[in-house]
Amino acid sequence: MPADKNFHRLVRKIFEQRTKAITDEKGIDWGTAEALAFASLIQEGFHVRISGQDVERGTFSHRHAHVFYQDEEGYYNPINSVVHNEGAQRKFIASNSHLSEFAVLGYELGYSQTHPNTLTLWEA
């Protein structure tokens, strides 16, 4: 996470623990494993799109796909910042969606059909 940005101290601590788990190669939790899997796909040239209720934060706060700044508008996307793929734009998308299952599934089905190089997920 950028040192010059103001994030919630507990969220910053989570990312410090993730970095340590990856470096030590032990103690990798669910959220870290998921991020590594998504980043691996993106590094190989695929896109990843996940939608659902509160997918930016993640159920039980495990994902942290968007980390919101504490003192300004906007957010930081950790996965997009660590994947180095020349010419890549918005390779990882986490989109909070409405609770209307038919509408969301219809949209995601259409998205997956028009973007076949994308892992399109809907988190129920």
Under 8 Å between Cβ of 29 and 62: yes
Give the other-Cβ count within 10 Å of 110's Cβ.
11
- Beta strand residue intervals within the chain, DSSP E: 47-52, 67-68, 75-76, 92-96, 118-123
Q: For the whole prediction, is pTM greater than 0.75? A: yes
pLDDT in tens, 84-121: 666 656 689 999 887 778 888 888 889 999 999 999 98
Domains of the chain: 9-123 (3.40.50.12470)
pLDDT, tens digit (0-9, with 9 covering 90-100), for 16-66: 999 999 999 999 998 899 999 999 998 888 999 999 888 888 766 788 899
Tokens of 118: 């994308």
Kindly give, in sequence order, each residue whose CB lies less than 8 Å from that of residue 4, ignoring residues fewer than 6 positions away.
none
Q: What is the dihedral of CA 62, 67, 71, 74, to 10 degrees?
A: -140
